[in-house]
Amino acid sequence: MNRSLVLILSSLILLSACKGNAQQQVATPAVQLDSAQLIRDLQFLSSPSLEGRLVGTEGNKQARDYIAARFDSLGLAKPDSGRFQQFPARNNATGVNVLGFIKGSQFPGQYYVISAHYDHLGKKGDKIYTGADDNASGSAALLAMAAWFKQHPPKHSIIFAAFDAEEGGLMGSKYFAGNPSVDIKKIVFNLNMDMVSRSDKNEIYASGTFHYPFLAKYIDSIRPLTKIQVTLGHDDSTKGAHDDWTSQSDHFSFHQKNIPFIYFGVEDHPDYHQPTDSFEKVNKSFYFQVCQMIGQTAALLDRQEKLK
Ligand SMILES: [Zn+2]
């Protein structure tokens, strides 16, 4: 990765929240992710040798082992349930979520879950669905954020969840939410990433604030720090089922448990769920800037004593 891609975000954001007469200002540290490592992780996870990472396959296992090895090398702890969480998936396959954990320094009893699914569609005949955008991009972003928070310990406890078997049923996240490694009442927020690496419009959606309007102000305060267009939406069912992404990725499993979420993702592109969703098609500059923005959002949210 070219160093010119490394954008230094402004060092402070001030978020003002008025409570009666008292004004509380919250500073957020700059987030600097490792762009070269991010692209290396993306390239491995979307490589054709993983044959599309379909749940239950050898390529899926290679992706899982890679993510687990990266969690290990970062020194990420395991939740009580362990690094791997197995569950029954379709066609007698066994799905496996990969989990990492950092205990909060100030509010250890409140858990945030940062998530991305690592599975994809596999192969059909000789066509390999490498799923670079969907969702090697979110998985590599998850690793980058885990690395950053390991270096900059969070106030809240954070579970980093690489979910399996999202394609065709959100099965990994459903299992996680039904069998959480901590009391589900302690999970207060989900940040989900799915398709975050390319957009002809230089745009990404932060979805979920229709359901949880109190989260919109945090996105508003991040927006001036990035050249990416960050748009709220795709979460209002009254605009039609096609427009509403509420049930379209793993954040839905948290929403069903009344856990607030923000989902980051781009609009569908011509390569969506096609063999052409490849590493080469990823806009590396856009992708890195998006990851920085999402990291900044996570850091800002972590600074809040309570999300309200
Ligand atoms: Zn996906």
**How far does the centroid of ligand 1 lie from the alpha carbon of residue 169, in Å?**
11
Confirm if 145 and 264 have CB atoms less than 8 A apart.
no
Residue 30 CB burial class (10 angstroms; 0-12, 13-18, ≥19): middle
Q: 3-state class of 282 per DSSP? A: coil
136 C-alpha vs ligand 1 centroid, how far in Å? Answer: 9
**How far does residue 25's CA lie from ligand 1's centre (Å)?**
36
What domains does the chain contain, in order, with CATH numbers?
7-303 (3.40.630.10)
pLDDT digits (tens), the chain, 308 positions = 222 333 333 333 444 433 333 334 456 668 999 999 999 999 999 999 999 999 999 999 999 999 999 999 999 999 988 999 999 998 899 999 999 999 999 999 999 999 999 999 999 999 999 999 999 999 999 999 999 999 999 999 999 999 999 998 999 999 999 998 899 999 999 999 999 999 999 999 999 999 999 999 999 999 999 999 999 999 998 887 789 999 999 999 999 999 999 999 999 999 999 999 999 999 999 999 999 999 999 999 999 999 98
Counting every residue written for the chain, the total comes to 308
Gap from CA of 12 to ligand 1 centroid (Å): 32
User: What is the distance in A from the centroid of ligand 1 to the CA of 192?
Assistant: 11
Q: How far is the CA of 20 from the centre of ligand 1 (A)?
A: 42
Statement: the pTM of the whole predicted model exceeds 0.75: yes
Give me ligand 1 centre to Cα 143, in Å.
17
CA of residue 106 to ligand 1 center, whole Å: 33
Output the CA 194–ligand 1 centroid distance in Å: 5
* Helical (H) or strand (E) element with 123: strand 123-124
User: From the CA of 108, how far away is ligand 1's center (Å)?
Assistant: 30
- Ligand 1 center to 137 CA (angstroms): 10
Compute the half-sphere exposure of residue 230: CA atoms within 13 Å on the CB side of its CA. Answer: 28
Q: What is the pLDDT of residue 13?
A: 40
Ligand 1 centroid, distance to 155 Cα (angstroms): 29
